[in-house]
Amino acid sequence: MRRHAGVVRILDVLRFSVFFRFLFVALAAQAARIRIFSMFLFDSLNEGKTSTSRSAQPVSAAGGQALPARLAWLLLILAGAAWLLPGVFGHGPWKQDETYTFGMIHHMLVSGEYLVPTNAGQPFMEKPPLYYWTAALLAKLAYPLLPYHEGARLASVLYNLVTLVFVARIAKMMWGQRSLMSLPVLATLALFAGTPGMVKHAHDMFTDVALVTGGVMATYGLLAIALNEERRTPAWSAAFWFGLGVGITEMTKGLFVPLTFAATAMAVGVMVPACRSRSYWKMVGTAVLVSLPFFVIWPALLAQHSMPLFMEWFWDNNVGRFFGFSVKKLGSDNDHTVILRALGGFALPGSVLALVALGSGDWRQVGTSKVALPLAFGAISLAVLQSSATARQLYLLPVLLPLVMLGARALPRLPALANLAWDWFSRLAFGALAVGIWATYIVSTWPADQHQPIAFMGKWLPLSFVTPIQPLAVLAAGAMSILWIASLGLLSRAGQWRGAFSWFGGITLMWGLAFTLLLPWADYGKSYEYVYADLQASGHRRSRKLCAGNTGNRQQPFLLGTEPGELVLDQLLNLLWDTPLYEGERILESHLSIGRHPQALRQEVLHHMENEEGIPLSTLVHSPGQGLESSASSPVPQSPGQIVHDHTCRDTT
């Protein structure tokens, strides 16, 4: 058997070797056709210093000649697709944020009730429903071409596209450029999109994606208002975008970000001399009028429908989370190191570059709108988050753009050696991670008893899973790998912007490989779909056995005891028996511990069932304050009768 396993492994290696050799040759030929592949890895070593005046030139290829417009746009579209699409399709809702988010979207789809966000039968008043409305609409339009959860995730794609458009418009205003294809504009866009926090959360199905869109739109509007005042050319369109963006932030997350923008607008009105005018405040007042419907219509309808629900949203989830009196009830506290940790990882490299920019002279330009606005918004946001009783790293998402706006200004000032070092660090670090992902994928396709080389992955994913070979995913991953290698030669032509481009390319490659090659494995470990299917099937078999044995009391083998409000395994299985997939996943998410790994839960429950033992689900059920945001609106049922109405033996024939 051992010799046979060795032969199988050798055949697997040979099969992958032949496939990747063919893939490499095909893609390398295509890269040579567009005259990129000839500029490979080491030609940057002979590069000298690049003048600052070159920074505003169009994207260039070898010999200083501009790339053809069609080719430049093709490369931009391919890079955008590699950043945007992996992780959006091909998996179910993942804990911890996607499951409760899709629970509310699915409730809207099946019930037609759009006013009160509801998950597993319980109102979820933490966030307003703008994202849920958008996702429900797109899910309905995309079905049956896409499953509901993937159609709903298209909302994140839509909001991300709008976000990138407005980041590009901000970058053009910052650098005084009219063309999107200028190096400083593209570098600023790459710096924003390459932030780890954006790469991670832009692909999630949750409201913070729309929050970022609203924040970017509002930043664009306020910056346009301030710059127009400096030029003495006020425009009503700037006020419109400022007001619309602030309104979107209110209808996606609540009052924190709108209040921060209000404070930022006042700070800019004081810090920037040109904004100390009636014209500036007229524009800000117009923006307030534009945003007013977002602050009035849904809250008024909610208060008319149910004043307790309105107070839960306004008082508990907005005011209480900041001052702390509702944290014990809703969860998600603040250990006051979260923000500092986020700045050191989640917000890189913008956070470090922002400090470099301020330290290298931008602190003297706080009277200009290009520095005053991002500095004011970033400082106010960080101060409020640090003092808040509730904080998570993802709360820093609206702050990423101001950090990038400040940090991008430092790029032309970095020494040539620093840019070269940043470029090569990104090449080597992300290249090594890419090789590691490929190796992990190959080993994960072997039989489970041969997964010892990737045992370190057991910390996050079940090692018993054998990753299927999906030709389309392998082809996409191979294409991204070859395109990354082929494009390295272009970095030497980017001058002082090369570090930002290299960082973006590397982190995009790493994300793309992980969410094409390892996606089935990650889905198995992070989705409740497989857990639910196993529990439903095992519950069916267990019920047949109990009924056939005529035990007399079908609850008895699984009853916990006498404590009211406890959920027992038998009741959970009864509830899951005939429940559709989406409802079953929401039930598991709502009534079981947020912190428990789905596959760990599956193994524990099935182990107890196979041994015909009762299992105290008090160890699996939510306790007050446990978990993070989603525990707030998923309380333990007050009595078992709320979710189970029939404990008699069902006909299983």
Instruction: Provide the pLDDT for residue 520.
Output: 94
Per-residue pLDDT reduced to its tens digit, 346-387: 999 999 999 999 999 999 999 999 999 999 999 999 999 999
- pLDDT at position 23, please? 43
Give the residues across from 182 on adjacent strands: 58
Residue 40, SS3 per DSSP = coil
Instruction: Provide, rounded to the nearest whole percent, the portion of the chain with pLDDT above 90.
Output: 58
pLDDT of residue 329: 72
> Distance (Å, rounded) from C-alpha 191 to C-alpha 182?
14
| Contact call for residues 334 and 391 (beta carbons, < 8 A) | yes
Q: Of residues 222 and 333, which shows the higher confidence score?
A: 222
Closest among 474, 466, 413 to 443, alpha carbons compared: 466
Quick one: pLDDT at residue 336?
A: 76
CA angle 602, 608, 614 (to 5 degrees): 125
Looking at residue 278, its pLDDT comes to 95
Spatial neighbors of 601 by CB under 8 A, at least 6 apart, are 531, 588, 592, 593, 620
Contacts of 133 (CB under 8 A, 6+ apart): 108, 114
3 state DSSP class of 123:
strand
Cβ-contact 396, 464 below 8 angstroms? no
| Whole-number pLDDT of residue 572 | 55
Give the residue from 547, 538, 512 showing the smallest Cα distance to 615: 538
DSSP lists the bridge partners of residue 60 as: 66
Which two three-digit tokens encode residue 517? 């090659």
Tell me what pLDDT residue 603 has. Answer: 59
Query: What pLDDT was estimated at residue 501?
Result: 95
Concatenated DSSP letters of 125-183: -SS-SHHHHHHHHHHHHHTTTS-HHHHHHHHHHHHHHHHHHHHHHHHHHHHT-S-TTBH
Residue 587: predicted pLDDT: 56
Q: Over 50: is that where the pLDDT of 634 sits?
A: no
Region label for 342, one of left (φ > 0), alpha (ψ between -120 and 50) or beta (otherwise) = alpha
What is the Cα–Cα distance from 129 to 504, expressed in whole angstroms?
Answer: 32
**Pick from 460, 593, 515, 599: which is nearest to 96 by CA?**
593
Quick check: 545 pLDDT over 70? no
Over the stretch 502-516, which tens digit does the pLDDT of each residue have? 999 999 999 999 999
How many other C-beta atoms are found inside a 10 Å radius of the C-beta of residue 352? 15
DSSP bridge pairs for 527 = 94
**pLDDT band, very low/low/confident/very high, at 527 (cuts 50, 70, 90):** confident
Please give the pLDDT value at position 82: 95
Check whether the bond before 462 is cis (ω within 30° of 0).
Answer: no
In this predicted structure, the answer to whether residue 635 has a pLDDT above a threshold of 50 is: no
* pLDDT tens per residue across span 56-113: 445 543 333 456 778 788 889 999 999 999 999 988 888 778 888 998 999 999 999 9
Gap between the Cα atoms of 490 and 59, Å rounded? 9
Task: List, in order, residues 6 or more apart from 306 with CB less than 8 Å away.
Answer: 116
The 10s digit of each residue's pLDDT in 463-496 is 989 999 999 999 999 999 999 998 898 888 888 9
- The confidence band for 536, taking pLDDT boundaries of 50, 70 and 90, is low
Tell me if 482 sits within 8 A of 25, measured CB to CB.
Answer: no
pLDDT at 120 over 50: yes
Phi-psi region at 622: left, alpha or beta (left = phi > 0; alpha = psi -120 to 50): beta
- Look at residue 54 and tell me whether its pLDDT is greater than 90: no
The backbone torsions φ and ψ at residue 604, rounded to the nearest 5 degrees and listed phi first, read -65, -45
Confirm if 151 and 142 have CB atoms less than 8 A apart.
Answer: yes
DSSP SS3 for 449? helix
Q: In the prediction, which pLDDT does 601 show?
A: 57
Among all chains, which residue has been given the structure tokens 């093709």? 74
Per-residue DSSP letter, 522:
H
How much is the pLDDT for 344?
A: 92
> What tokens does 388 get?
């808040």
pLDDT exceeds cutoff 60 at 38: no
Of the candidates 451, 448, 424, 428, the residue with the CA atom closest to the CA atom of residue 440: 451
